[in-house]
Amino acid sequence: MPPPIPVEVRKRVVAAHRKGKGTYAELADVFHVGEASVSRWLRLDRETGSLQPKPPPGRKPKLDAGGREVLRQLLEDDNDATLAELASRLHERIGVTLVVSAVHKVLEKMGISRKKKTSTRASATATTSVS
């Protein structure tokens, strides 16, 4: 999702419209924005008097930067901990309750893989079928 158009551009579009500098389509062309955006900003200015963009959609993450750092430290302390153990320790340490899948997603976003190496050595000879 691209970042919202800066408030300064929105203010210039509204000011140009108030001065009668063109239609919605002409203003959209001049400022290199969509015609629907011009319409939306003018309505927003009329109804609220503010041109601030809406906050990004979705929930705030339960684990902020500090919580992610705690998780990283937990992994350094015990790299073999399961996701369930990490979730439990996170709850004990900072009071945040996460389900196992949420811990997995956070680790994935942090670029940390939890795949374990196999515990046995690979066979030196390949298996063959007897015909």
Is residue 119 predicted with pLDDT exceeding 80?
no
Percent of the chain exceeding pLDDT 90 equals 68
- Burial (CB < 10 A; 0-12, 13-18, 19+), residue 71, is buried
Is residue 64 predicted with pLDDT exceeding 80?
yes
Which is it for the CA torsion 99, 101, 104, 105, positive or negative?
A: negative
Report, as an integer, the average pLDDT of 57-63: 86
The pLDDT mean for the chain works out to 89
Q: Tell me what pLDDT residue 5 has.
A: 92
Q: Against a cut of 0.85, is the pTM above it?
A: no
Is residue 123 predicted with pLDDT exceeding 70?
no
Q: How far is CA 95 from CA 51, 66, 87, in A?
A: 38, 12, 10
Is residue 127 predicted with pLDDT exceeding 70?
no
Is residue 88 predicted with pLDDT exceeding 90?
yes
Q: Tell me what pLDDT residue 55 has.
A: 85
Which tokens in the block code for residue 79? 């790299």
Report, as an integer, the average pLDDT of 55-73: 89
- Burial (CB < 10 A; 0-12, 13-18, 19+), residue 35, is middle
- The larger pLDDT score, comparing residue 3 to residue 70, is at 70
Is residue 126 predicted with pLDDT exceeding 80?
no
Among 65, 104, 60, CA closest to 81 = 104
Distance between CA atoms of residues 86 and 78, nearest Å: 9
